[in-house]
């Protein structure tokens, strides 16, 4: 069994001009790629297996991330099935000089754990052993189907 808090991954990506679109903000495809990579890390920490992306439930781009800001990405596992792993992903734009953050993007990804033959394989049970973990899990479950 793996505790939710053991799956928490936080990462930063500095938005450079080569990551930007013609409006000088992070291209949505780059943001999605960063989210997918961090989400896979979280899923693999949970499962102890290689994990591949199976589904993106939705991707809401609420605010832009400007060149020079960082994309602060948070991921954690909030639910699991037989071989599937559900990961909540939140992106915030961050000004490193002021440390101010503002949420820009949120999504819920589903990964599938695979074995050495690229066949789906079982994952452990998710446990939640803290109030913080339970709050994160409830936030994810409530937001998973919301708009």
Q: Please report the pLDDT score of residue 147 as a whole number.
A: 54
Percent of the chain with pLDDT over 70: 99
Question: CA–CA separation, 26 vs 65, rounded Å?
Answer: 5
Pairing of strands 50-61, 9-14: unpaired
Q: pTM, whole model, 2 decimals?
A: 0.95
Instruction: Tokens 């991921």: give the residue.
Output: 75
Which residue, 92, 108, 109, is CA-closest to 100?
92
Question: CA–CA separation, 102 vs 87, rounded Å?
Answer: 20
What does the pLDDT look like over 30-76, one tens digit per residue? Answer: 999 999 999 999 999 999 999 999 999 989 899 999 999 999 999 99
- Specify the 3-state DSSP secondary structure of 146: coil
Q: Please report the pLDDT score of residue 1 as a whole number.
A: 86
What does the pLDDT look like over 69-108, one tens digit per residue? Answer: 999 999 999 999 999 999 999 999 999 999 999 999 999 9
Q: Please report the pLDDT score of residue 58 as a whole number.
A: 87
- Specify the 3-state DSSP secondary structure of 56: strand
Decide: 104 and 64 in contact? Cβ < 8 Å: yes
Tokens of 77: 């596992």
Domain coordinates in residue numbering, the chain:
2-144
CB hemisphere CA count around 102 (13 angstroms): 10
Tokens of 45: 């920490």
Report whether CATH 1.10.645.10 matches the domain 2-144.
no
């Amino acid at each position: 069994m793996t505790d939710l808090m053991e799956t928490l991954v936080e990462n930063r990506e500095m938005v450079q001009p080569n990551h930007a679109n013609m409006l000088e903000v992070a291209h949505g495809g780059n943001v999605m790629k960063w989210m997918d990579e961090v989400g896979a890390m979280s899923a693999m920490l949970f499962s102890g297996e290689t994990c591949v992306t199976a589904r993106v439930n939705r991707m809401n781009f609420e605010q832009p991330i400007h060149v020079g800001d960082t994309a602060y990405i948070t991921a954690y596992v909030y639910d699991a099935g037989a071989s599937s792993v559900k990961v909540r992903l939140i992106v915030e734009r961050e000004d490193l000089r002021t440390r101010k953050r503002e949420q820009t993007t949120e999504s819920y990804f589903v990964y599938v754990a695979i074995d050495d033959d690229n066949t789906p394989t079982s994952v452990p049970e998710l446990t939640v052993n803290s109030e913080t973990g339970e709050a994160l899990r409830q936030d994810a479950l409530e937001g998973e189907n919301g708009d």
